[in-house]
A = this chain, B = another copy of it.
């Protein structure tokens, strides 16, 4: 007798609450992930500040504070609609398209109109905007201690507003690389190798720091604060839970927790890999190598964090970490001066991580396609960076004066000291 006849309204009401609960949980996770990716900007700031000399600390902090700000604003203005342009279904190339400047605040962004149950329009925008700004940040470490502030900011703006969204659209915007089966879960290539390629181009164009490569050999220039660098790396690891975990694009329990596991194990294995590799190579227990090894492991697992089993994630991370000391030595031999090792961590391990999907990924992945994808995006970014880097160099110049570099950029560019101790 306690049977009830349910009305359509009742059924719909229950269904709406149930859908709303799931939608809210998904969206909340995506926003937490956004906040954690924001923390990566603090992580990069602290890491880069720790790895440069005391006389250039204000400068690197200034650049990082400006990049996140410029990055968010330009992504709002053009980046988002360039990266997610809604390619025409029949476009044969899907190489570049643009959905128009600015977000349209009058548009119908209600969940019903926009999302398919996982997050809102605003969540989509702000999560992707945080991502975009990281690519530019990677460059700042590589050109540290000698780049003109204004020139760097112009280049970073172009990279984050134009180059990154275009190459990003090829995969995440549904472009031609997506069509051919290229896989890059959270951006080993789309974010890290992209930022790393730009870093490489700019490091080559600007040349090494004064006194780095001399007739007597390569002079190590130690960073001014290892605690700052360590804080930076730990915060980057923390933020990576949002970077990789948020790339699930929902709070799917199985998938997000799997990604947390592979991400954690790869970072840990990266530290061990770098520890072993650097201890063999350099015969000392090198903290900066272990820290960069963690980052290497994180960059390495980023492309396949959702499709690589935990035991393979350990292998991917370990190899990424082990590569770091060798890669740092290689770039030094090539006389490409990168004060924080950004090229080794983000470009080299970004390529490795992208290829690793073809080797260890559970699913239908081709190492050749992975190679095509990573080379295409790196190639475009290198070309873009060399072109605009060269134009900047030829006009307003990339590099501070020799005297300014000697004094330090804090005084020559900013007129202030990082510390008064």
A225 touches B19 (CB 8 A): no
Asked if A237 is at the interface (CB within 8 A of a chain B CB), the reply is yes
Q: Is the interface of A mostly helix, strand, loop or mixed?
A: helix
CB distance from A68 to the nearest CB of B (A): 7
A65 touches B4 (CB 8 A): no
- Give the residue of B261, B290, B420 whose beta carbon is less than 8 angstroms from that of A224: B420
CB distance from A285 to the nearest CB of B (A): 5
Asked if A10 is at the interface (CB within 8 A of a chain B CB), the reply is yes
Residues of B within 8 A of A149 (CB): 285
Asked if A5 is at the interface (CB within 8 A of a chain B CB), the reply is yes
Asked if A345 is at the interface (CB within 8 A of a chain B CB), the reply is no
Asked if A83 is at the interface (CB within 8 A of a chain B CB), the reply is no
Interface band, chain A: 35 or more
Copies of this protein in the assembly total: 3
Given A26-B24, A29-B28, decide whether A42 and B235 contact each other with a Cβ distance below 8 A: yes
CA distance A272 to B67 in the complex (A): 10
CA distance A361 to B123 in the complex (A): 21
Residues of B within 8 A of A95 (CB): none
Q: Whose C-beta in chain B lies nearest to the C-beta of A263?
A: B126
CA distance A264 to B80 in the complex (A): 15
* 21 A–B pairs (Cβ distance < 8 Å), ordered by A: A2-B7, A3-B6, A6-B11, A10-B11, A14-B15, A17-B18, A24-B251, A25-B28, A31-B245, A35-B242, A38-B241, A38-B264, A42-B235, A64-B230, A121-B257, A126-B260, A126-B264, A222-B417, A222-B420, A223-B420, A287-B414
